[in-house]
Amino acid sequence: MRDHNTAAVLGLLRDAGTEGASRAELAAGTGLTPQAVSKITARLRAAGLATEAGRRASTGGKPPVVLRLVPGAAHAVGLHLDRDSLTATLVDLTGAAIATRTAPLAFGAGAERVLGAVEREVRALLAGAGAGAGAGTGVGTGAGADAGVRAGAAPASAAGRDASSDVGTGRGVTSDAGAVPVAFWGTGPAASSDAGTGPASSSGTVSASSSGTGPAMASGRGALPVASSDTGAGPATTSGPAPAPASLLGLVPTLLGLGVAVPGPLDHRDGVLRKVTGFPRWDGFPLRDALAERLGVPVVVDKDTNAAALGLAPRAADSFAYLHLGTGLGAGLVLGRNLHRGARTDAGEFGHQVIQVDGPPCPCGGHGCAEALCLAAVAAGDTARAARLLGIGAANLVRLLDIDLVLLGGRTVLADPGPYVAGVRAVLAGAAPVDVTPSGERTVVEGAAELVLAPLFGRAGAPGVTAFASHASV
């Protein structure tokens, strides 16, 4: 109950933004007593997660104190693995982006090369952000109380162990102050790989919000070796026994974890990939645990469309469908304000509904699937047909699930949104509003970061989520 109440207060503070909220407003919004709210906010302030933001104008009596979240108190990394590209973003506690990197990716190149590319790009992202993300972010700087990290605080657990030693144990890892929660975890790591051929990634590019200019690696104890180049011509790792991995907490001590959005199907509970259409070699690969072992931080894995829907949920309708048309076709479903994954994370396999009986074959093994038909129309340059096919699939969802809103996204739609919105609207004929995702190209990667942040604010999604943030210290 204490965790639930703390999450409710944190959620309202996040929604309040920079204007903040008074204790009376928090009590009204959560249904908690003023005394309970005072105790919770005192713990949040002691942990560096919240701070005073001034006072409200008095309506009689003492002006109420306003509280707000401290953005730099905690951070998360969102990672979007597409079939041909990788995007990683570092966000603060409010979800605001600090830095973003993009790089080409050959998802079919094999697990070892893909994991190596992920490690390089994520470490480069954090190294750049920690070196010069700007004053006040609190990223790896020990920036003081307003950043939620004491000067000189080490990225270790309360018992003084290296944070990576708790990987896979189910224990929440905290800073040495034992206050700011910096990790949540699932089951233990079990690395596996299938040797890849060909380059998984070239050097990434960094957005203007990041000061990182290249794929730098963390130096010092436990730093991982990298290949001499990103061309893929040489081995992915050096020969001989590999040193123990250096936790990403060495770069950003307030890092909560890594959220990974990847094409499905997959098992969200276990972080294991299934038969990704067109990439059968990934079937059964424990992506969550393999990344956790390499990076030394908690990892949550979900389908790209689920991550996108989770990130959009606070700004969208109570029940909506996010339809993603890019290198594939899928959907993320939010029903009654809860992300709907299904018992086996198979909900939202929108692209494999049959919309043409005895239609052309699909790589999934079926015939007449929406994805196969839609991608064929896109390849032929027939945008009107692709939009109409997308609309037929959307109409099935709206009529089956009584959806309030349809949001469109994905690189294909975003490259020319007008015809797709018009085409889907024409098929739906007013059954539900249709619009383009307000987050644009960042929809999935922001949602990936939200996989980590959402449990802190009581937004873990559908029942069955197993990785929750540790609030034991607050």
Structural domains of the chain, with CATH: 2-69 (1.10.10.10), 73-297+450-457 (no CATH), 308-438 (3.30.420.40)
Taking the mean position of all CA atoms in its chain, how far away is CA 11?
17
Going by the DSSP 8-state scheme, the letter that residue 230 receives in this structure is S
The reported pLDDT for the residue numbered 471 is 35
Instruction: Using the predicted structure, report yes or no on whether residue 158 has a pLDDT greater than 60.
Output: no
Q: What number is the average pLDDT over the span 151-169?
A: 30
pTM, to two decimals = 0.77
User: ω into residue 455 within 30 of 0, thus cis?
Assistant: no
Q: Residue 451 in contact with residue 261, Cβ under 8 Å?
A: yes
The reported pLDDT for the residue numbered 174 is 27
The reported pLDDT for the residue numbered 245 is 63
Q: Closest by alpha carbon to 293, among 231, 335, 246?
A: 246
Instruction: Using the predicted structure, report yes or no on whether residue 271 has a pLDDT greater than 90.
Output: yes
204: pLDDT confidence band, cut at 50, 70 and 90? low
Q: What number is the average pLDDT over the span 251-263?
A: 96
Across 56-70, 142-156, 271-285, 388-402, least confident range? 142-156
The reported pLDDT for the residue numbered 62 is 82
For residues 164-200, one letter each, b for 16 or more C-beta atoms within 10 angstroms of the residue's C-beta and e for the rest, the string is bbbbbeebbbbbbbebbbbbbbbbebeeeeeebeebb
Instruction: Using the predicted structure, report yes or no on whether residue 386 has a pLDDT greater than 80.
Output: yes
Q: Closest by alpha carbon to 189, among 115, 84, 100?
A: 115
Q: What number is the average pLDDT over the span 169-191?
A: 30
CA of 117: how far to CAs of 25, 218, 395, in Å? 46, 15, 39
Instruction: Using the predicted structure, report yes or no on whether residue 35 has a pLDDT greater than 60.
Output: yes
Show Cβ contacts of residue 126 under 8 Å, excluding neighbours closer than 6 positions.
77, 90, 139, 140, 218, 248, 251, 252, 255
Across 133-142, 262-271, 384-393, least confident range? 133-142
**Environment class of residue 58 by beta-carbon count within 10 Å: exposed (0-12), middle (13-18) or buried (19+)?**
exposed
Instruction: Using the predicted structure, report yes or no on whether residue 164 has a pLDDT greater than 80.
Output: no
Across 225-239, 297-311, 422-436, least confident range? 225-239
Phi, psi of 425 (to 5 degrees): -60, -40
Instruction: Using the predicted structure, report yes or no on whether residue 420 has a pLDDT greater than 80.
Output: yes
Instruction: Using the predicted structure, report yes or no on whether residue 336 has a pLDDT greater than 50.
Output: yes
Instruction: Using the predicted structure, report yes or no on whether residue 166 has a pLDDT greater than 80.
Output: no
Q: How far apart are CA 198 and CA 206, in angstroms?
A: 23
Task: State both tokens at 304.
Answer: 């790209």
Across 50-54, 224-228, 285-289, 418-422, least confident range? 224-228
The reported pLDDT for the residue numbered 298 is 97
SS3 (DSSP) at 456: helix
